[in-house]
Structure formats: C-alpha cells, structure tokens
Structure 1
Amino acid sequence: MENTTQWFTSWFDTPYYHILYKDRDNSEAQLFMDTLTNYLNLPEGGEILDLACGKGRHAVYLSSLGYDVTGVDLSENSIEHAKQFENDNLHFEVHDMCKPFKKQFDAVFNLFTSFGYFENEIDNLKTIQAIQADLNETGFGVIDFMNVEYVIANLVPEEVKTVDGIDFHIKRYVEDGYIIKDINFEDGGESHKFQERVRAFTLNDFEVLFDQSGVYLLDIFGDYKLQKFHKTSSERLIMIFK
C-alpha cells in the first residue's frame, strides 16, 4: 500500500476529483442549507464559516440567502475556482481546518463528510477545538458526517463509474478503522491511482471528541431534512453543538 498521508492534498487538487463527483445534487444541498439555517434561526446577515468548502457550492448558496460567508479549504485549486464567485458578502481563503480562523462566526458548517481525513488522530481533536474557537458566544457548530454504520452495511465493494468518457474503477472496503475507496482510471494514455480514506467515526466517537474539547452537543439528525437519527437506517449523522 502506498503512503497515503495527506492523501486529500493531492486528490482534491486534481480535476479528476471534480469530474468523478460532478453529479452531486445541488438542489438537495440548497434545501439542506434552507432547512439548517431556518432551524438555527441565524441572525439576518449573520456570519458563517464554511469549513472545507471545496469549490464553494454551499457557500455560494448561503451568500445568496443574505448571509456573510467565508469559505475555506486546504485545496488551492478549489479556492482559486471559488474566488470567481466572491462578492461583498462572500469570501474564500486557503486555510487548514486544524487551526482556528482569524475571526469568530455565528455558525461554522463542516459539510458533506469533510472530517476524519487525518492520519494523525490529534488533528481530529484540533479541528473540533478550532471550530469551537471560531464560534462567537451565541454561535453554532455543525458537522454533517456519514452514518458509518449505515454506510458499512450498504457498502458497494466494486463498481465502474463512467463520467466524461473516463471509466473510474472504484473499490470500497473497511480497514484499520477507516472506510477506504481506491480509485483507478486511465486518461490520455496515462494510468492514475488515488485513494480516499475517511475515519469511520461513530456518534460515540464524536461524543468523546466533544467531551475532550468541552463542546456541548445540542441536536443530532439523520438526514438533510433534519429528521431523527437512527443508528442503522439514517444515511447521515448531522450534529449541532456549541
């Protein structure tokens, strides 16, 4: 097995990552943002930090709702792409989520399983602590993670996904506490190999991290409509905390 430390710094910066996932449902993402911001009752013009924002699809939509949004990501290519959408209440910066940002917000959103990438366990704790540091006195933290029990039970071991003429050969498995996806494909006569590794954090694992960070878990939901969380049947694990 190749050394996959910091795998996300290379994979997320390739155009192939965005090709493979180009069919993500924007309408579902927007409905989630509507539901979430209404539930949190954020102040009009409130400030939101979109942590690990990728190319900014959530941040752009949140900005259109009237919020002052800062999107940050470690991927320089993603931020460079997102900067084309900047305006007076939408800003993008390259930033390491393990470290506190330079200001505080009414909400910090970490969406679409953008957590648990790190090889070093302490970095997961540092990220929770950084989110807490980024919240003002009345602010809410939100982590939208996969429900690992549901994902593992419904794991598709192998598939071929063809996008833009590229056949992505995908293998999924669980190993050493990680859900792993091997991605192999050819393009332009060259072979490419990437791997995604996400820590298989359960709700209990998050509760330990929250306890260690002095964070208070307020609510838990199981899908983007903010319905009740069920360990075996919910697709998502959405946690709201202070």
Structure 2
Amino acid sequence: MLKDSSMWYASWFDTPYYHILYKDRNHIEAGEFMDNLTNYLNLEKGEKILDLACGKGRHSIYLNQLGYDVTGVDLSEKSIKYASQFENETLKFRVHDMCRPYSEKFSAVFNLFTSFGYFDQEEDNLNTIKAIKSDLNENGFGVIDFMNVNYIIENLIPEELKEIEDINFHIKRYIQDGYIFKEIRFRDKNEDFFFTERVKAITLNDFEDYFNKADVHLLDVFGDYQLRKFDIKNSQRLILIFK
C-alpha cells in the first residue's frame, strides 16, 4: 500500500519511520547550539521560551535543563504525546499550528532545524513570521534556523540509499517550482511506503521580504551552530535573529 499526503508534514512526521530515518541527528551539536544561542541572546534562567515546531521535544527538554521555562508546540499529536512524558512545572508541550499566535508572551521564540517553509499556502510563511512577532514580549527575540538554500542546491545529492534498522530508505532529491523535494520510498513488514518532503527554497532575500511585510527587524545572521557569520556560498545553515 502506498502512503502519501498533500499535507505531507501532517502524515510523515506522525509516522515512526520519520524518527527512524533521522535518528542520527546530533544531540551534542543540538545542545551546543542551544548553549551558544541562549548565551548570545543573554537569556536569564527562568525566562520563557517557545519552541515552535518542537517535534519530540529534544531542544525543549535541553533548554529546560538549562533552567528556562519552556513551552514546546507542534502540529503532530503523536510527537506531542511522546514529549509530554517529560513535562514538569516549567516544561509543557501542546498541539498548536505555528501559523497562528500562541496564547502567551515569551522572551524568545525558536523555530529550529528547518521547521519552516512546509506550507501549501505561500501566505502561511508570512503568517508564521507575524505569529512569532505577536508571541514575543517587549524585549523578546525570534530565531529561525533554516537551511542555506544556496549551499543545499549547489551540493544536492540526487539519489542515495540509507539502511537503518533493517529498512532500506531510497531517497531522491530534486528542485521543482521553487521547492526542494525529497522523495522517500521503503518497504517494511511486507508493505510499501512513499512519502515526499517539500520545503520552499527560501533565501535570505526572501526572509528579508517576509520580515519587511511583517514589520520585523533582522538583527543578525549566522551560518552555523557555532554562530559564525553567514556566508552565502559556504554556510550550511541560515540562522536569523530578529525582533
């Protein structure tokens, strides 16, 4: 049976296979990024952080361990159900659509690991920026950690095979209509699966246009998790600090 959905992130993120495929994500690197980011923003212990599109909560949990009051939100009910086992007085998880403002104000709103540009409607990219702005308190900072589209396109791997937990993931990547596509095919338990990731190829100039329309002020741009300056050709990440 072939599995697919036009709203791909709603179905793919809720499967166990998404977490199997990406199980090798570097948690040490993620922790160092959070250390660097909170130090750069000079966030004090106890301040409130919103982790927007938090997935299973790895960044939220680490930020809470650093002493912050963290709310993690995601559209995936299964991811939030999993993350909720780690809740405490200063850590909570909720199902929420990041295109819409949340009901609280925060010292920082983090949108991490390319959790942007998925939407079927172009206006939802701008709506998300507006929502982040409305979620910030008077002195709050917004952070979007996106891929550097220029680097990704230049170094795109068209096809590869990954074997993880006895599952062969056949992956195909291509650019089409302003989006970066990743087709993922595999077979497990005598069933065929097919999912497509689709992320809008948003450049720094595109983000600057969103920010102008949302009346958001870009403060700094970094190119990696060590917060080195962004280089359009060589940086793998596009990390935007704004308010």
TM-score category, normalised to shorter length: over 0.9
Matching residue of 2:114:
113
Please, which runs of 5 or more residues in structure 2 have no aligned partner? Answer: none
In the TM superposition, residue 43 of structure 1 has moved relative to its aligned partner by 2.2
Matching residue of 1:16:
17
Please, which runs of 5 or more residues in structure 1 have no aligned partner? Answer: none
Matching residue of 1:156:
157
Write out aligned runs for 1:105-184 (5 A). Answer: 105-184=106-185
Equivalent-residue separation in structure 1 for 2:141 and 2:61 (angstroms): 20
Q: Secondary structure at the match of 2:157?
A: coil
Alignment: residue pair count = 241
Equivalent-residue separation in structure 2 for 1:35 and 1:7 (angstroms): 32
Moved segments of 4+, more than 4 Å: none
Equivalent-residue separation in structure 1 for 2:77 and 2:55 (angstroms): 9
TM-score normalised by length of structure 1: 0.98
Equivalent-residue separation in structure 2 for 1:4 and 1:202 (angstroms): 26
Equivalent-residue separation in structure 2 for 1:41 and 1:125 (angstroms): 27
1:59 aligns with 2:57: no
TM-score normalised by length of structure 2: 0.98
Moved more, 2-11 or 132-141: 2-11
Q: Secondary structure at the match of 1:150?
A: helix
In the TM superposition, residue 4 of structure 1 has moved relative to its aligned partner by 4.7
| Superposed CA RMSD | 1.0
State the percentage of identical aligned residues: 66
Equivalent-residue separation in structure 2 for 1:160 and 1:87 (angstroms): 40
Q: Deviations over 1:139-172 (max 9, x none)?
A: 0000000000000111110000011000000000
Which residue identity is paired with 1:240? I
Equivalent-residue separation in structure 2 for 1:187 and 1:146 (angstroms): 30
In the TM superposition, residue 203 of structure 1 has moved relative to its aligned partner by 0.1
Q: Secondary structure at the match of 2:109?
A: strand
- Flag the 1:3–1:55 CA change in 2: closer, same or farther, 3 A: closer
In the TM superposition, residue 3 of structure 1 has moved relative to its aligned partner by 7.8
Judge conservation of contact 2:4–2:195 (CA < 8 Å) in 1: no
1:48 aligns with 2:37: no
In the TM superposition, residue 44 of structure 1 has moved relative to its aligned partner by 2.1
Q: Deviations over 1:115-151 (max 9, x none)?
A: 0000100110100000000000000000000000000
Matching residue of 1:103:
104
Q: Secondary structure at the match of 1:160?
A: strand
